[in-house]
């Protein structure tokens, strides 16, 4: 779970975006109502506490319950219930559903990758390719789906990518600069696209290598040559159709940008009972 302090501001901004001047139609319904949240497909449920926060900010008198985070759900399954003033339920439903659908989609996609690589003990990692201002929630959804987080921000670790290598004038210069500027606990990882570049990065003192857009065969050779020297991570061009082939190479981690930038929403609806 994550602290409410991490998402209450996000929820407040989302409610302001959705109805900056209130709901002139929905506010006319003052009577009580109840409704259920229904899954429209198979997946992993995520984001119940965020949806609950939506209704809390709309009206603290609304009662909301959801199935546990990480629950496997099926089409037609009830995943939550809400009760309170009808105007409050109408005011919060779309924002709540937006969070539930997005986060459950990320968790479901992550779970699919984790399942494919589970026989090989490979970790599935997220990236910084997240929706602006929703990173804390999307990375939480990755963890809910069984994945792990890469660095949260630029401040959390050093990953020397292609443009940084060019700006520095080469891998050795970039690694030296990183060692000079980073604190003593920071790991220095270098993105490489060939075994020759990997050799250069290891010789320069890198702690980890991101094997970018390499074939499974090349990744396997990198594991054999450098696996006992540095941490290895594969990324680029990896999808559900080939992720198991990469996991079979023995690479300990695979990072997937698509977990957060391309996951389809899980269909979840809210129906007020007649």
Active-site residue set:
94, 129, 161, 191, 212
Distance CA 193, CA 185 (A): 26
| Pairing between β-strand 123-125 and β-strand 231-235 as defined by DSSP bridges | unpaired
185: how many CB neighbours lie within 10 A of its CB?
A: 6
Q: How many CA atoms lie within 13 A of 107 on its CB side?
A: 26
112-147 per-residue burial string, b: 16 or more CB within 10 A, e: under 16: bbbebbeebebbbbbbbebeeebbebbbbbbbbbbb
CB atoms < 10 A from the CB of 221, how many? 15
Whose tokens are 């990758």? That residue is 113
| Interior angle at CA 143, CA 223 and CA 156, nearest 5 | 70
For tokens 């490489």, what's the residue?
A: 192
Class of residue 203 by CB neighbours under 10 A (exposed 0-12, middle 13-18, buried 19+): exposed
Query: Could you give the C-alpha distances from 134 to 8, 26, 45, 128, 170, in angstroms and in order?
Result: 12, 28, 17, 11, 34
* Cα 120 to Cα 228: distance, rounded to the nearest angstrom: 18
Residue labelled with tokens 């602006």: 132
């Amino acid at each position: 779970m994550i602290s409410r302090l991490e998402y209450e501001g996000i929820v407040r901004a989302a409610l302001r975006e959705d109805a900056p001047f209130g709901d002139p139609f929905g506010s006319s319904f003052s009577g009580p109502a109840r409704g259920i949240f229904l899954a429209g497909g198979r997946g992993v449920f995520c984001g119940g506490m965020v949806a609950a926060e939506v209704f809390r900010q709309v009206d603290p008198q609304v009662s909301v319950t959801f199935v546990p985070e990480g629950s496997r759900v099926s089409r037609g399954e009830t995943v939550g219930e809400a009760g309170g003033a009808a105007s409050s339920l109408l005011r919060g439903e779309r924002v709540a559903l937006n969070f539930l659908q997005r986060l459950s989609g990320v968790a479901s996609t992550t779970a699919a990758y984790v399942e494919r690589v589970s026989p090989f003990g490979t970790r599935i990692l997220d990236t910084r390719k997240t929706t602006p201002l929703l990173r804390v929630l999307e990375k939480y959804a990755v963890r809910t789906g069984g994945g792990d987080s890469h660095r949260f921000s630029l401040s959390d670790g050093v990953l020397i990518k292609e443009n940084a290598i060019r700006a520095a004038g080469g891998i050795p210069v970039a690694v030296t600069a990183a060692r000079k500027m980073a604190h003593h606990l920071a790991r220095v990882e270098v993105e490489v696209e060939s075994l020759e570049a990997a050799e250069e990065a290891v010789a320069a003192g890198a702690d980890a290598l991101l094997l970018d857009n390499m074939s499974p065969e090349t990744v396997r050779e990198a594991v054999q040559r450098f696996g006992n020297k540095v941490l290895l991570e594969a990324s680029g061009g990896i999808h559900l159709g080939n992720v198991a082939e990469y996991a079979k190479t023995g690479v300990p981690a695979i990072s997937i940008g698509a977990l957060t930038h391309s996951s389809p929403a899980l269909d979840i609806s809210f129906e007020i009972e007649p």
